[in-house]
Amino acid sequence: MTRFTSSGNFIISKQIPLGVNLTELMKNAVSPETNKLLEQAVFDSSRSSSDIGVSEATSLEDRIYQALAGAKILTSTFAMHLDDDWRCKLFSQLDSLHDPIEWEEGDKPIQKESFITFLRLWLFIRPAKRPGLGLSFNGNLIAAWTEGQNRLTIECLPNDAVQFVLSTELGKRIVRTAGDCDVDQLLACLGPYDPGRWFRRG
Amino acid sequence: MILAAGFAVANKPIPDEHHVLRYAAWGRLRRDEDGQVIGILPQALRLRDKEPYLSVTWVEFFQGNRNGKIANAITATRASIGIKAQAKGIFALGNVAALHKTCKSQAVSAQVLHKKTASNPGHSGIYGLDKAENNLLSLLADEVFSELYP
C-alpha cells in the first residue's frame, strides 16, 4: 500500500516485518546463491545493534577503526558480487568518510545494520554507475547518484529500510519526491522516474 | 576581525536580502562516483536529537566586501566549532529570502534569528526545520545552499 504525505512524499507500508525472513518476491528476484547471502545478511542484522565490530573500544580512533574493520569483513561476505575495482573504491570511500580529522562531536561511525542494508541494496539494484557515499551523523550510510539535475539520494537505515529523495527532469519541469520503503520495494517506487537514468552508464 | 556596527542584537530576525553560512562536514557532502564534491546532502541540514535549531553564521554581520564578509564568517565558524585546519568539509552559502520561500513552498514556517555566542558573534539559528521532511531538506541543499566555499 502506498500513501502520500501532505508534501507529496510517499510512504510504502512495510509488507514484511523488519529483519525477518525474505519474502517470496525477493526469493524469486535473485539467484539461489544470492538468496543465501541475503538470508545471511538478515541473520547478521538480527544480532545486537551497535557500531560495526565495536565492542570495548572507547577512544574515537578505536571506535572508528573497529567500525571500519567490521564493514570490510561484512563486505567480504559479498565479495563474489562486487568487482575488485568497486570494492577498492568502496573501501577507499569508507576510509575517507571515517577520517578522524573530519569528525564532528556526536557523530557515530557506520552502523552495522545500515551497512547490511546498503549491501542488500547493492545486490538488488546492481547499478552499473556507482554512487558517491556519505554518512549521516547517526552512522547511516548514504548513497547518492547525481547526473546534473537528476539526483537520487538513498539513506540506508537498519533492517532493510531505506529513505530516498529524488529530483528529476520531466519535460521542462524538475519533479521532486521522497519516500520510505524496504530495499526490495525500492525499484518499484522509483519505477515511474526511470531509475536507469541514475544506475545506467552512458 | 572587525565587526560591523549596529547588528549586534541577539535573537533579531536576519533580513531577507542577507545570507547565512552552514558548515557541512565531509560525510555530508554530495559527491559524484569519482569522489568529486558537487554539493551538500540533505543530511547536512538535518537537526540532531534535541537540537532546537540549525546553526548557521550570519554573513552580513561581518565587515568587508562580499568576499571579505564570507571569509570572516568562515573564520568565525571554524573557530567556534573547532574545525581542524586539514578538514575538507565545506561551507554552503544561502540567501535568507530564498530559504523562507522554499520552506513556505513545503508548508514549513522557518525563522532565521541572530543568536550571538561568545565564540561566534555572527552565530544564528534557523528555526522550524524540526518539521522539515526530506523533500524540503533536499530542496534547501540543492537550491538554497548551493554556493560552496572550502
pLDDT tens-place string over residues A45-103: 444 445 565 555 578 889 999 999 999 999 988 888 888 899 999 999 999 999 999 99
Any residues with CB less than 8 A from the CB of A202 and at least 6 apart, and which?
none
Q: Which residue does chain B place closest to A89, by CA atoms?
A: B34
CA separation for the pair B112, B128 (Å, rounded): 9
- Average confidence (pLDDT) over B73-91: 92
Is the CB of A102 less than 8 angstroms away from the CB of B26? yes
Q: Do B138 and A165 touch (CB under 8 A)?
A: yes
- Angstrom distances, CA of residue A123 to CA of A31, A47, A50, A81: 10, 21, 23, 7
What does the block give as the cell for A8?
A: 507529496
The share of chain A scoring above pLDDT 70, in percent, equals: 71
**Number of neighbouring beta carbons within 10 Å of residue B143:** 16
Amino acid present at A158: P
Q: Which residues pair with A169 in a beta bridge?
A: A174
Q: Note the pLDDT tens digit of each residue in A87-122.
A: 999 999 999 999 999 998 889 999 999 999 999 999
Q: B35 falls in which pLDDT band (50, 70, 90)?
A: confident
Q: Report whether pLDDT(B106) > 70.
A: yes
State the burial class of residue B58 (Cβ atoms within 10 Å of its Cβ: 0-12, 13-18, 19+): buried
Measured between alpha carbons, how far apart are the two ends of chain B, in Å? 19
Determine the distance in angstroms separating the CA of A53 from the nearest CA of chain B, rounded to an integer: 20
Residues in chain B: 150
Report the alpha-carbon distance of residue A93 to residue A116 in Å, rounded: 16
Which sign, positive or negative, has the C-alpha torsion B63, B15, B66, B71?
Answer: positive
Q: Output the pLDDT for position A163.
A: 97
- Label residue B109 exposed, middle or buried (CB < 10 Å: 0-12, 13-18, 19+): exposed
pLDDT score of B9 more than 70: no
Find the helix packing angle between A60-77 and A84-97, rounded to 10°.
160
User: How many degrees, rounded to 5, is the angle at CA A177 between CA B53 and CA A191?
Assistant: 150
Q: What does pLDDT average to over chain A? A: 79
Residue identified by cell 565587515 is B63
**Looking at chain A, how many residues does it have?**
202
Q: How far apart are CA A54 and CA A139, in angstroms?
A: 13
Q: Is the pLDDT of residue A26 over 60?
A: no
Query: Is the confidence at residue A29, as pLDDT, over 50?
Result: no
Total-model pTM: 0.83
A102 → chain B, closest CA residue: B87
Domain residue limits, chain A: 23-199
Distance from CA of A32 to the nearest CA of B (A): 30
pLDDT for A125:
92
By mean pLDDT, which of A6-20, B49-63, B88-102 is the weakest?
A6-20
CB atoms within 10 A of CB A30: 17
